[in-house]
Amino acid sequence: MKKLAIIIVNYNTKDILRDCLKNLERLNLQDVQIVVVDNGSKDGSADMMGAEFKNVDLIRTENKGLAVGYNLGMTRATDADYYLFMGTDAFPKPGCIEGVIDFIEARSEVGIATAKLVLRSGALDMDAHRGFPIPWTALTHFAGLDRLFPKSHIFNKYFLGWHDMSKPHEIDLCISHFMMVKKEVFDKVEPWDEDFFVYGEDVDFCWRVKQGGFKIFYLPQFECLHYKGVSVGIRKETSDVTKADDATKSRMKSETTHAMRLFYQKHMYRKYPWIINKVVELGITAISSSRK
């Protein structure tokens, strides 16, 4: 296997992080460097890693967001052939990581690949299988039309619902909770945009990777368990394990719409007439108000 750097950014998820690192140990990966960036956790995460995981390259820093953490982690892994950006709540199954690397290695046009992410309920995490949130795509999603017409090319561009989920295929974007990136991508595409604190950093990065001429693939033959949202604390499916406080939960709700606005202004604003831009802005404002 090529030299791999696994980069994990942690914020107050000590117990899940311990399980995550133990799972990586059980996988017995070869020629791998694990870098954990601890974003100023107050739950003893960094001390736990220092005591229990001597093989982990630990970076202690203040919390400047996920994108900053990813970029900082990459500075410790400059000789890697592949970078796996992974959440503390991600648990790849045996053979998953090696299989994803082998797939990318055999295809020069592929810059990013992700595995099938499965929630604890057994349901697919469809955020790993996304289309870009252009205005029509976002409208049909937030209006619920994708749920009414899940297989439609017109009404479910958000989750690309017409694809055969049992076979490998190209997608627009995946989340950074399990995102394998070929080193050549960073030779052509700038690293993570640090204007995104949390949420949207993966959408922005995948957009720029696609613009750089690379393909992004979803590989359902390889599986990764995903607890989803442990550090942010606003997901019902992980309410039993999250340690996020009320202040963190409140900020995370506002960051979702901040990321929407930032992505649209950066990549979409000049592509659409002013009336479409105005409608999008009003829509984001309405979503933001509903989440307060």
Q: Is the pLDDT of residue 235 over 60?
A: no
User: How do the domains of the chain map onto residue ranges?
Assistant: 4-129+165-229, 245-292
DSSP secondary structure letter of residue 35: E
Closest C-alpha among 157, 115, 125 to residue 138: 157
Half-sphere exposure of 71 (CA within 13 A, CB side): 17
Q: Is the pLDDT of residue 279 over 60?
A: yes
Q: What is the rounded average pLDDT of the residues 36-55?
A: 95
> For residues 238 and 240, what is the distance between their CA atoms, to the nearest angstrom?
5
Q: Is the pLDDT of residue 133 over 50?
A: yes
164-194 pLDDT per residue, tens: 999 999 999 999 999 999 999 999 999 999 9
**pLDDT value for 180:** 98
Q: Which of 208-217, 232-241, 252-261 has the lowest mean pLDDT?
A: 232-241
Please tell me whether residue 62 adopts helix, strand or coil conformation.
coil
pLDDT confidence tier of residue 241, bands split at 50, 70 and 90: low
Closest C-alpha among 7, 36, 41, 20 to residue 248: 41
What CATH number does the domain located at 4-129+165-229 have?
Answer: 3.90.550.10
**pLDDT value for 18:** 97
Supply the mean pLDDT for the chain: 92
**pLDDT value for 229:** 72
Q: Is the pLDDT of residue 200 over 60?
A: yes
pLDDT confidence tier of residue 234, bands split at 50, 70 and 90: very low
Closest C-alpha among 28, 159, 12 to residue 89: 12
Answer yes or no: are the C-beta atoms of 58 and 38 closer than 8 Å: yes
- Higher local confidence (pLDDT), 280 or 243: 280
Q: Is the pLDDT of residue 238 over 60?
A: no
- Higher local confidence (pLDDT), 286 or 166: 166
Q: What is the rounded average pLDDT of the residues 96-125?
A: 97
Q: Is the pLDDT of residue 48 over 90?
A: yes
User: DSSP letter string over 223-244?
Assistant: EEEE---TTT---GGGTTT---
